Chain A
Amino acid sequence: MTEALECQLLVIGGGSTGAGVAWDAALRGFQVILADRGDLATGTTGRFHGLLHSGGRYVVRDPGGARECARENVILRRVASAAIEDTGGLFVTTPLDDLEYADRFFASCPAAEVPVEEISPAEALRREPRLTPAVRRAFVVQDGSIDSWKLVWSCAQGAKQLGARILPYHPVTAIVREGDRVIGARLHDLRSGGDVEVRAQCVINAAGAWSGQVARMAGCEVAVRPGKGVMVAINHRLADCVVNRCHMTGDGDIVVPSHSVSVIGTTDTPVEDPDDIEPTAEEVAKMMTAGDVLLPGFSRSRALRVWTGARPLLPKTATVGDDREVSRSHTVIRHAQRDDLGGLISIAGGKLTTYRLMAEDTVDAACAELGVERTCTTAETPLPGSTGRNYYRLPDHQADFEKGRADNPMVCECELVSRSDLLAAARRNPQVQIDDLRRVLRIGMGPCQGGFCAFRTAAILHGQKEYGRSQANAGLRAFVQERWKGQRPVLWGQQLRQAQLDAWIFQGVLDIEHMPT
């Protein structure tokens, strides 16, 4: 059975870019449909490092890109504060780093509009006692920690409130053309098994590292070169602010505090297929040793989990025919101008920090395509849930949790999730899976990696109308399999002990393998 839908803008890809485009376009009064092949933010956006860039990383190498980050940083603190933890950041010169680079770094910040303040090594150590005592220079910047899931959901929720339709688990299987125009796309509904035919005045390809694949469905090229990056989460916060090495960028030189853990990253290795990005033991080992440079003893701390993301990088040559200014670190392609194919726009490159600007440029291009003039308002309009002051704070989570404590059993000790949190999330999304709850509530993200909470979650969901026992059994199996991929490369020392305890729970006590389907 094929369902037919119509809209003005069909956005393909529910990462930060696509969700940002949907929000921007909905604010400008367009009728929008947003489709993703999986849940929202399960592409690169859900697998990134977590850094709200101050711009410091790029001041020397790419002052234009740094300026973009710095400006967007200020805007996002205003409109997306609920997704941001205002950790601040440090750039530190370690004994392995060139002192001369520190001078260039400091001198380049003002021109790139990156606020910076130098503090003494002693003051840096007072703020972050685990920092290498050999630190030679230290600079304070406006880095932050940003939760991409919260960000994407609030964009999607905002768009929805303005009438947009959000279609997760709807991969685009074909782009529909009529002569030299794209007139829509065919989606497959993974949950119902049916197809959906969407007619749109303009289709926006925001599929990130997959945008080349989507463009090919329309018969044209977007030359994204997926770049694989690896990140490792450590079981607690080794530093409370973002810690960067002050040098010409390398692998594993940033440690970002994210909720209850620290995340180190990253690398950049070109890959063919953005879906084939398994982390290797060597990459993990490299991250662990790299961490020691900034935070001595890092390599002996307990690594919980590894993941990789695929960067949607665009080589400069791909921007031929591009009508945007070249200094941008992202590219909007109007295929009408480049390939004589109307009704299709691709957006590629960029960073999460600049998602809003990318969306603005994209919707501007869509306005041009449709011949209308409507102004972007995302820089002034707070996202649902954000008030400009309400940064996320880790202790607030604890306080909220304690408030509702009585008669509300704790489901997940690592991340403080209660039964009522779980039921509320299940009400919001009746088709929810345990793995979706991981992204919403962080279930299974802590040290036990789901050993205790996965069973409780499955059983509590089972109490809900739409969640039968076979879903509970299958959900548990799917969840442990999903967790396994990220755990395997860090199974040594304490985390291996944990994994073997979990094996006893899942395969001994619960024996999920032999559960009826």
Chain B
Amino acid sequence: MNTDALVIGAGTAGLIAATRLAQGGLRVLVVATGEGCLPLASGTVDVLGYAPGPVKSPLGALPGLLDAHPEHPYRLTGAAGLEQSVAWFLQVAAPLGYEGELTRNRWVPTVLGGLRPTALVPRGMAAADLGGGGEVLIAGIRGFRDFHPALVAENLCQATAAPAAAIQARAIELDWPGSAGDLVPFRLARRLEDAGIRRSLATQLRPKIGSAAAVGMPAVLGRETAADIHADLERRLGVPVFEIPGLPPSLPGLRLFDCLRRALRDAGGRLLLGSSAIAATHHQDTLDSVTITQASRPVEVSAGFFVLATGGFVTGGIVREPDGRLREPVFGLPVHGLAPGQQPFGDEYLSEHPLDRVGLSTDANGRPLGAAGAPHAVNLYAAGAVLAGALPWREKSGEGLSLATGWHAAEAILGCRREDVA
């Protein structure tokens, strides 16, 4: 097999890089073992939420972050690249109505009733910013194990994370019409396509709204037709409705995954799921081909450019052996971030653990470094959670990092191509 660019990994970073490359005119193939973190994630694009104190403006806090952590992946894009990648993303994700600014974090509720900082939210969470306080009604579904409105509401009333005014939150539990079997997110989402169910929920809800400015619900409001379901509920209730994302699997994340996949296809890129990269062939300082598994058989794919977007430990982009050795399994790249003899974990769970920052180091173009400290290959780039230097869940920077660095890798490749042509 032969292609212009081979992207390994179909998480946010891989899909973003691939779509951008395909839009830039390259023939692109994405191979991925699985779907990555997006279908598990909240669907918000967190750029920078804590550094380590609460961050009002991700752009404003960026210089301080890079001063404190010069190895942080955001150094690759800087503020300008970050802004461009976000502007580009807002276009690609337009079907889901993503909105937000890099100069102001929004504070959106969690299923525990806390507030968490994020930069970009889909249309379904546009009304979720409670950073300025306000009155909301939290509506749960009786018997749904992953959403407990009383807890959300009680905690929201005490929220301290938001800088501004107090929140008044009330809770209501709705009866799901004709309930049968386990109420799980996907089943609820599918059943909500039925207008009768929406009518029943709205009928229960309407009399309770009172002076609430918005209604918060578990993030189960449909998959493909989420926009219609959301609009219909808002029309029936007469107030904005927002989703509160919870435990995996997560519909807002899955919708973004669907959307990015479609954008890739529309741009002419191809995606092979269930296919893993297992080995590579080099010619001097250039990577020639990567061996992938297809239907359990090895197939060699040659390409001009390669993007490694295999994620962190969660998706197997980095592996830790029982003896503590760290490994990048596809190319055997050195994994950085832990000094020899350094303890990988601290005593307090909710503290910073050195292991959480490990990953690949790169040059300024995003090319991962080999054992000798120079780029492993001139045409290999790395992006996303596989990179060293960040503490994504503590900083609240997960999707933002993968977006920015995925976009950056594609730009670097497109830049090379332009140079070659010129």
**Residues on A close to B: CB < 8 A?**
281, 285, 288, 299, 406-407, 409-411, 419, 452, 455-456, 458-460, 462-463, 468-469, 472-473, 476-477, 480-481, 483-484, 488, 491-493, 496-497, 500-501, 503-516
With contacts A469-B155, A473-B155, A511-B110 known, is A496 near B313, CB below 8 A? yes
For A503, the chain B residues whose CB sits under 8 A away are 356, 393
Sample of 26 A–B contacts (CB below 8 Å): A406-B180, A410-B182, A455-B112, A456-B146, A458-B151, A459-B112, A460-B148, A462-B151, A472-B112, A472-B151, A477-B350, A484-B349, A492-B320, A497-B314, A500-B312, A501-B314, A507-B350, A508-B42, A508-B398, A509-B245, A509-B246, A509-B247, A510-B112, A514-B161, A515-B114, A516-B155
For A288, the chain B residues whose CB sits under 8 A away are 322
For B155, the chain A residues whose CB sits under 8 A away are 469, 473, 515-516
Other A-B pairs beyond A469-B113, A484-B349, 20, CB < 8 Å = A281-B324, A285-B323, A288-B322, A456-B145, A462-B148, A462-B154, A469-B158, A481-B350, A484-B348, A493-B322, A497-B316, A500-B312, A504-B314, A504-B393, A507-B350, A509-B42, A509-B245, A510-B110, A513-B350, A514-B161
Q: Is the beta-carbon distance between B160 and A516 smaller than 8 angstroms?
A: yes
Q: Is the beta-carbon distance between B322 and A407 smaller than 8 angstroms?
A: no
For A491, the chain B residues whose CB sits under 8 A away are 320, 344-345, 355
Q: How far does the Cβ of A303 sit from chain B's closest Cβ, in whole Å?
A: 8
A-B residue pairs, 5 tightest by C-beta:
A459-B148, A484-B349, A409-B145, A516-B158, A507-B393
Give Cα A442–Cα B143 distance, bound, in whole angstroms. Answer: 22
Give Cα A506–Cα B144 distance, bound, in whole angstroms. Answer: 19
**Residues on B close to A: CB < 8 A?**
37, 40-42, 110-116, 143-146, 148, 150-151, 154-155, 158-161, 179-183, 245-248, 312-316, 319-324, 344-345, 348-350, 355-356, 392-394, 396, 398
Give Cα A377–Cα B91 distance, bound, in whole angstroms. Answer: 79
With contacts A409-B143, A469-B155 known, is A504 near B41, CB below 8 A? yes
Give Cα A59–Cα B355 distance, bound, in whole angstroms. Answer: 47
For B181, the chain A residues whose CB sits under 8 A away are 406
For A496, the chain B residues whose CB sits under 8 A away are 313, 320
Q: Is the beta-carbon distance between B40 and A504 smaller than 8 angstroms?
A: yes
Q: Is the beta-carbon distance between A516 and B40 smaller than 8 angstroms?
A: no
For A407, the chain B residues whose CB sits under 8 A away are 143, 179
Q: Is the beta-carbon distance between B150 and A455 smaller than 8 angstroms?
A: no
Give Cα A407–Cα B355 distance, bound, in whole angstroms. Answer: 42
Q: Is the beta-carbon distance between A501 and B320 smaller than 8 angstroms?
A: no
Q: Is the beta-carbon distance between B145 and A473 smaller than 8 angstroms?
A: no
Q: Is the beta-carbon distance between B37 and A504 smaller than 8 angstroms?
A: yes
For A514, the chain B residues whose CB sits under 8 A away are 114-116, 161
Q: Is the beta-carbon distance between A515 and B112 smaller than 8 angstroms?
A: yes
Give Cα A410–Cα B345 distance, bound, in whole angstroms. Answer: 32
- Looking at A288, A406, A508, the one whose CB has the most chain B CB atoms below 10 A away is A508
Give Cα A493–Cα B37 distance, bound, in whole angstroms. Answer: 17
Q: How far does the Cβ of B398 sit from chain A's closest Cβ, in whole Å?
A: 7
Using CB atoms, name the residue of chain A closest to B248: A505
- Looking at A472, A483, A492, A501, the one whose CB has the most chain B CB atoms below 10 A away is A492
Give Cα A469–Cα B159 distance, bound, in whole angstroms. Answer: 12
Using CB atoms, name the residue of chain A closest to B50: A514
- Looking at B116, B323, B398, the one whose CB has the most chain A CB atoms below 10 A away is B116
For A488, the chain B residues whose CB sits under 8 A away are 345
Q: How far does the Cβ of B328 sit from chain A's closest Cβ, in whole Å?
A: 15
Using CB atoms, name the residue of chain B closest to A515: B114
Give Cα A472–Cα B111 distance, bound, in whole angstroms. Answer: 13
